[in-house]
Structure 1
Amino acid sequence: MDAREKILEAATDLLAEASVADVSTRAVCEAAGVGAPMLYRLFGDKAGLLAAVVDRGFEAYLASKRAARPSDDPVADLRSGWDNHMRFALEHPNHYRLMYSPELTVPPAAAREAHALLHGILERCAAAGRLTVPPALATQMIMSANVGAALSVLTRPEQYPDPGFSERLRDAVLDSVTRPSSDAPDGQEGDGDRAVPVAAATLAARLRAAQSPFFTPAESALLGQWLDKLSSG
């Protein structure tokens, strides 16, 4: 095991045992059997070390999301993704709280990848005509709500005793940005005020996915910009 892996393993073990989502570099160096200069040479500073620890801790979770096969219902995939996110947070509380700590000045790559994976599912929702807002906005809304719910339950469990809280919030958020499939019973497809935004979001997603030969890159970019504005309502 090389020095980098020793340091990461020691920091991971200390973080799992800590009462708060933080570890000291001195404790990490002692546990790994290395000097402070080695730690700073490999990770730059404490923030760099903690970001690497977060990425290491999230690797198995993200690997499972990368390997997940899309179902025929992208909205169902959103629900599963929300539940998996909450499950990981509750099973790895210190890694999770550290990932979203304002003191972590180095943004973990895991946070960016989780955001990108969610955005990919929402692009599928839009292409299927199931999204009522642009995918980028829906990604921000869902991720903010999912992370907020997880952190609330982790940091203030006494205020969130209802085991159904996460599912209720999930359904409320997803219902606000998605619509039933086209084969839904009459009267459940959504009101007419949303017809243009939904159609625009669908066309914009299909334009991004298709890379149509009928438009130049500049024309595609302009059309995409117009459609995104229309989909914003």
Structure 2
Amino acid sequence: MTATPATPPRDGVRSDIVEAATRLLRENGAHAVTTRAVAHAAGVQAPTIYRLFGDKNGLVDAVAEHVLATHVTTKTITAHDTGDPVADLRSGWRTHVEFGLANPELFRLLGTRGPDDLSPATIAGIEVLRTRVRRLATAGLLRVDEQRATMMIHAAGTGVILALLETPAPQRDAELEKAMFDAVLGSILTTTPVTPDPTISAVTVTFAAAAPDLPGLTDAERALMAEWLHRSLTRLRNPHG
């Protein structure tokens, strides 16, 4: 009796598809990552991709997760907090820029997603950034509110990567990412040697960061305090608005 070949495990098939898509992306660019091409490269039928990933965006999300995990595990820097919120923020910034430059096609693919369809990798990255900005705020280092600081860092990081990717490698400014990071810090931190912004109170920003964890308050009291602090920060930033 001839034995029937065993069906490849689901996880094995999924891994093969992700590897095939990653290879196509790196070797031929984003335009090459079609369902048909990936299925052919992985030796599966196209419906298998839809069954495992839902659609092309689902496949791209899986590729992003795979590539990001590989990138992080090959770095010599530690992913753990060092106790210095500025140093940890700088480390995360550098990792983000290096990832974008090492994976330009994937970075561009993720960047074309709309605000209602962000990749889980993008969402996770922004949440890590928010956490690190929160540490700056609770340490009393921010002179702008957390949301503005987060968006400034995120926008600057994305802009640096795109600017460098648009420049031929031999002509790239090796110090651009450091200079941009320092410029952003100069705009958001109280400890940098720049002219202080009189319209923002670092004390208010710090208190706003600590307020959700204050003991002895009811949920209603915390909500009221958060609303008051939000209005205070808004008035401080826009005194004539």
Report if TM-score (shorter chain) is over 0.5.
yes
1:221 alignment partner AA: A
Identity of aligned residues (%): 37
- CA 140–109 in structure 1, closer or farther in 2 if over 3 Å, else same: same
2:3 match: none
For residues 77-116 of structure 1, the aligned pairs below 5 Å read: 77-102=88-113, 106-116=117-127
Structure 2 residue 18 is the aligned partner of structure 1 residue 8:
yes
1:43 aligns with 2:47: no
Unaligned runs of 5+ in 1: 182-187
AA partner of residue 27 (structure 1): A
Alignment map for 1:1-233 (pairs within 5 Å):
2-20=12-30, 22-61=32-71, 68-102=79-113, 106-157=117-168, 161-180=172-191, 191=196, 193-194=198-199, 197-208=201-212, 211-232=213-234, 233=236
| 1:56-105 alpha-carbon deviations (Å, 9 max, x no partner) | 222245677xx722233212222222122111212222222222124898
User: Once the 2 structures are TM-superposed, how far is the Cα of residue 190 of structure 1 from its aligned partner?
Assistant: 6.2
* Change over 3 Å in CA distance of 1:22–1:223 after alignment to 2: farther
TM-score (normalizing by structure 2): 0.81
Write the letter of the residue equivalent to 2:231: K
Q: How far, CA to CA, are the matches of 2:170 and 2:146 in structure 1?
A: 32
Give the distance between the partners of 2:210 and 2:129, measured in 1 at CA.
Answer: 17
Deviation for aligned residue 1:116: 0.5
The one-letter code matched in structure 2 to 1:132 is R
Aligned-CA RMSD value: 2.8
Segment drifting more, 44-53 vs 169-178: 44-53
Residues 22 and 144 of structure 1: CA distance in aligned 2, closer, same or farther (over 3 Å): farther
- Number of residue pairs matched? 223
Distance in 1 (alpha carbons) for counterparts of 2:232 and 2:65? 37
Structure 2 counterpart of 1:197, which letter?
A: S
* Residue 21 (structure 1) shift: 6.2
Q: Which runs of 5+ in 2 are unaligned?
A: 1-10, 237-241
Alpha-carbon spacing, 1:21–1:89, altered in 2? closer, same or farther (3 Å): farther
Q: Please state whether the residue corresponding to 1:167 is helix, strand or coil.
A: helix
Q: Is the 8 A contact 2:30 2:106 kept in 1?
A: no
Bigger relative CO (Cα 8 Å, ≥ 6 apart) = 1
Q: Aligned partner of 1:147: which letter?
A: T
Using the size of structure 1 for normalisation, the TM-score is 0.84
Q: Within 2, Cα distance between the matches of 1:166 and 1:154?
A: 12
Max radius of gyration: which structure? 2
Deviations 1:95-143 (A, max 9, x none): 2222212489842111011100011011111111100111122111101
In structure 1, distance between residues paired with 2:92 and 2:147: 17
Counterpart-to-counterpart distance in 2, 1:178 and 1:105: 31
